[in-house]
Amino acid sequence: MAESSLMRANGEHEANRALFGVVHEVAVGYAGADVPLVMAVLRRRLSGVPGMDDHGLRRIAEEINVGRDPSGL
């Protein structure tokens, strides 16, 4: 049971690292770009990621638009 929880936690950790890595790459490449463009890139790069709705994408895109990297990397 504990091993299963550890494996699940490791899988979630790796998924989060991948997600934050994509956000970081977009932030570096599109810093200062218009929000609709950043949203389109994020939508394309993060398609299929659970929990990433338009509201969440817009918040991330707005941060990138003003030159911030919301990934924290």
User: In this predicted model, what pLDDT tens digit does every residue of 30-69 receive, in sequence order?
Assistant: 999 999 999 999 999 998 888 788 999 999 999 999 999 9
What CA–CA distance (Å, rounded) separates 23 from 12?
Answer: 17
pTM of the model: 0.79
Domain ranges of the chain: 2-65
Q: Residues with Cβ < 8 Å from 9, sequence gap 6 or more?
A: none
Strand (E) or helix (H) holding 68: none
What CA–CA distance (Å, rounded) separates 8 from 20?
Answer: 18
Q: Residues with Cβ < 8 Å from 32, sequence gap 6 or more?
A: 65, 66, 67
The one-letter amino acid code at 60 reads: I
Query: What tens digit of pLDDT does each residue of 18-31 get?
Result: 889 999 999 999 99
